[in-house]
Amino acid sequence: MKVLSICGSPRRGNSETILLEMQKLFLEKGVENEIVLLREKNIERCHGCVEFCNHNPGCRLQDDMAEIIDQMVKADAFVFICPNYFQMPPGLFKDFIDRSNIIFNCNLDPNIKNKKSVVICVGADKPHETDVCTNNIANLYCRYVSTVVATKSFQTKSELKGNFNDVFDNGLNPDIRDSLSKLVDALVK
């Protein structure tokens, strides 16, 4: 099994820290996990040229999205993770969402909706507030590209403290390792 984990954070912070912990859990289960850090990719904004997308098996924009789309087609499951920006994903992740529509518009992977996914968001808000971002991604995007088997929101105050990776140590997520283990189990069973 191969899991593709897509991180939509514009910086190296809690989202990436969580993915690295999940990667250890996948490895323990013998599952291959490839992490894509969108901040390291060149992804242009969608130009809305839907007529091109509807009639061609690719995008006219020449950037790193073609590689990411190929990785998504080859993957068996997904982890989508990003920070919560005003209960929405950051622009970087939204650009990825908009550009990945070619997968279902062009039917590049007829089985895409059968692939499992987990959606995680991290933010300074209380988890039930960050859930708005998590649920937006799960319900408005993932329904086209996967079957969501689990979602989770985590709280952090790291930006306020100047520590960008405190999600495991801040005391706000006492069950985080157990939660991540359950998310991994949901994908691999």
**In the prediction, which pLDDT does 126 show?**
84
The structural architecture, per CATH, of the domain 2-188 is 3-Layer(aba) Sandwich (3.40)
Using CA atoms in the order 41, 8, 112, 2, what is the torsion angle rounded to 10 degrees? 80
How is the chain split into domains, by residue range? Answer: 2-188
Q: Each residue of 91-149: pLDDT tens digit?
A: 999 999 998 887 776 766 777 788 999 999 998 888 889 999 999 999 988 888 888 99
Q: Each residue of 4-45: pLDDT tens digit?
A: 999 999 988 889 989 999 999 999 999 999 999 999 999 999
Question: How far is residue 160 from each of residues 9, 122, 156, measured CA to CA in Å?
Answer: 17, 14, 9
For residues 83-96, give the mean pLDDT.
92
Is residue 52 scored above 90 in pLDDT?
A: no
Nearest Cα to Cα of residue 155 among 134, 138, 141: 134
